[in-house]
Structure 1
Amino acid sequence: MDALKTIVCLIYPDFMSLDAIGPLQVFASANVERQRQGLPNYYQTLLLAEEAGPVDSSAGIQIIAQRALSEIQADQIDTLLIPGGIGERVQINNQPLLAWLRASEPHIRRLGSVCSGALILAATGLLDGRRATTHWADIDTLRRTHPNVEVLGDQLHTYDARDTQGNAHVFTCAGVTAGIDLALALVEADLGRAMALAVARRLVMFLRRPGGQAQFSALLSPEPSRTPRLAALLDWIPSRIGDDLTLEVLAAQACMTPRTLSRVFIQELGVGPGKYVEKIRLEAARNLLQDAQASISTVSRLTGFGHPENLRRTFQKHLSVSPQEYAQRFT
């Protein structure tokens, strides 16, 4: 039997417990699924810290680090994950820890971060020239403090098992529960899609989301507080997504000139009217496909994309999968 793959989570004072325990439970559940199939365990999980023993999490509970950094060789680690949490503010200046990560990186098959753990990984310099994401609340900080990192503002994770540019080796993911999505992607790369789906079912997950999916629904975008006319328009758009929603149509509905409407959208939502409508249409198409409510051709028509090719291009741009692949993931 091959040696167990050691999955390590590096914890530190005031880390977020779910960032660590959530992903590790995915790997543990994969072992359970293999046992049910009469197969041996594939993973062993380990909590690592600068010193072995209890570590305070931001949830107010202590979690035991089984090993210290000095007690393990980097080539013994298959996958290392760095969680986020308010404690990352101290760790980004922890030079011994950063030096250990830099020295260990060439010997570890997969090195990733969860949530604001990306800021620790970025502090090592290992994200320079790479694509990266983090919790939506920390995107601006990551972009401002690490200009050499290609920051993706609205993506679940950057892991890609088929990538040849290093994104299968060093990667990041968004906040909290996105760590579970990342871990499922790692399990799929190791043991296949069927196993990843079985683990998702065991964890009673409603969806198994692809890495390129948005961090949160476009329909949850905050409504503007300063422009009541725009708030009314945002309520109106979802009910008309199959219609012609050009800038001129939207401006007339909002009783504004097209130029004024574009300016207000940028001020209030940070995107123009066209991009906002595209997000709402994409959200509606996703909901129809994942619920198997209509064919791709029908979904394209109902959500205002018209031709299926338009829907395909939008899915590839925002989710990095085709509508067919998206529907298959949630069948």
Structure 2
Amino acid sequence: MDERKCIAALIYPDFMSLDVVGPLQVFASANVERNRQGLGDAYRLLLLAECAGPVPSSSGMQLVADAAWRDVDPAHLDTLLISGGAGEAQQRENQPLQTWLQHAEPYIRRLGSICSGALILARSGLLDGRRVTTHWADIETLRENGKLLVDSDCLHTYDPAAGDGSDHLFTSAGVTAGIDLALALVEADLGRSMALAVARRLVMFLRRPGGQAQFSALLAPEPSRTPRLADLLEWIPANLGGDLSLEALANRARMTPRTLSRVFARELGSGPTGYVERIRLEAARSLLQDAQASISTVARLTGFGHPENLRRVFHKHLCISPQQYAERFGQETPHA
């Protein structure tokens, strides 16, 4: 008897290739890690489409579907992931597919979406009343549904400990967030150490929790959005350990402190001091997740100076201490 969990991805013409190969590679790499430990494969991978055979992605590459979804017994699927892509609009109107999803849902242990695949799943009605997310560019389209609790700023909604059904029906944001989702699924199946081993094998420096924001504060906004601040916003992340006081920032931007504060409020919706604090916080989170330095060193490198200052900011924004954050999300536990 085959005890491997069947992980299936649903594809269609003009799907996004990374929505498929990224998450599936996570499961394949979990098999590799288990083999290295002398264990058998945990997963069997399956590609489903309207018909078996080659299916073109939006990039022009083709993947070969193993079977037609209508011919598969959903009870044999452990997990089904619906990919996103330019062709999702047509699949929303694919009534046979929608009917099959409605029929299959009770039999599949985990049913989720990657990127704009959430729009396909939402059309089936299975997500009504649930917290959902998708790629930031499709958030407003998702909101038009009116029956969903749309979260525009998270990586995925899978949470096996929530007790609200989010371990059964879930969604994820764009492209690489599908990899984060797949790592969370592997962690739920095989444990945290295996998920971290897979992340390392894929040279992923962070295993990002599902609630993390889609946008990194360390990524400066497009210059066209912040023309007067573009140079300053690019400079700040590279100088977190230095003087980033309002006066120093104003001098760097060749503005008065009052003018700089006004420009920040207009173009970014926050003041310079709050912006710098968020940048420093995310840099500290990144270092702690990677276990790259002790908490004292992280505080110094990110401009907080003393660990107590770092602790206050973590409690303010995350309601936990740096040590607790490192223990929960880090690869190792850094020492103070």
Equivalence for 1:288 = 287
What does residue range 1-331 of structure 1 map to in structure 2 within 5 Å? 3-143=3-143, 145-225=144-224, 229-231=228-230, 234=233, 237-238=236-237, 239=239, 254-255=255-256, 257=258, 261=261, 264-265=263-264, 267-269=266-268, 271-273=269-271, 276-290=275-289, 292-296=291-295, 299-300=298-299, 302-304=302-304, 306=309, 308-315=311-318, 322-328=325-331
Q: 1:223 to 1:32 in 2, by over 3 A?
A: closer
Q: 1:255 to 1:235 in 2, by over 3 A?
A: farther
Q: 1:71 to 1:275 in 2, by over 3 A?
A: farther
Q: 1:68 to 1:175 in 2, by over 3 A?
A: same
Q: 1:71 to 1:228 in 2, by over 3 A?
A: closer
Q: TM-score if structure 2 supplies the norm length?
A: 0.83
- Deviation (angstroms), 1:51: 1.7
CA distance in 2, matches of 1:65, 1:2: 21
CA distance in 1, matches of 2:226, 2:31: 53
AA in 2 matched with 1:203: L
Number of equivalences: 323
Q: 1:33 to 1:121 in 2, by over 3 A?
A: same
- Structure 1 unaligned blocks of 5 or more: none
Q: 1:140 to 1:300 in 2, by over 3 A?
A: farther
AA in 1 matched with 2:203: V
CA distance in 1, matches of 2:310, 2:79: 42
Q: 1:275 to 1:125 in 2, by over 3 A?
A: farther
Q: TM-score if structure 1 supplies the norm length?
A: 0.84
- Deviation (angstroms), 1:70: 2.1
AA in 1 matched with 2:311: P
Tell me, yes or no, if the aligned pair for 1:207 and 1:330 is still in contact at 8 Å. no
Deviates more, 1:197-206 or 1:271-280: 271-280
- Deviation (angstroms), 1:289: 2.1
Deviates more, 1:104-113 or 1:287-296: 287-296
- Deviation (angstroms), 1:228: 5.2
Q: 1:24 to 1:291 in 2, by over 3 A?
A: closer
- Deviation (angstroms), 1:327: 3.0
Deviates more, 1:119-128 or 1:225-234: 225-234
Tell me, yes or no, if the aligned pair for 1:284 and 1:303 is still in contact at 8 Å. no
Q: Please report the RMSD computed on the Cα atoms of aligned residues, expressed in angstroms.
A: 3.1
Please give the per-residue CA displacement for 1:214-263, whole angstroms capped at 9, x wherever unaligned.
334212232454765444553565546787868x99789843648x945x
AA in 2 matched with 1:204: V
- Identity value in percent: 62
Deviates more, 1:157-166 or 1:30-39: 30-39
Please give the per-residue CA displacement for 1:91-127, whole angstroms capped at 9, x wherever unaligned.
1222221221122112111011111111111222222
Q: 1:313 to 1:148 in 2, by over 3 A?
A: farther
Q: SS in structure 2 opposite 1:81?
A: strand
Q: 1:251 to 1:286 in 2, by over 3 A?
A: same
CA distance in 2, matches of 1:272, 1:94: 44
Deviates more, 1:44-53 or 1:193-202: 193-202
Tell me, yes or no, if the aligned pair for 1:13 and 1:87 is still in contact at 8 Å. yes
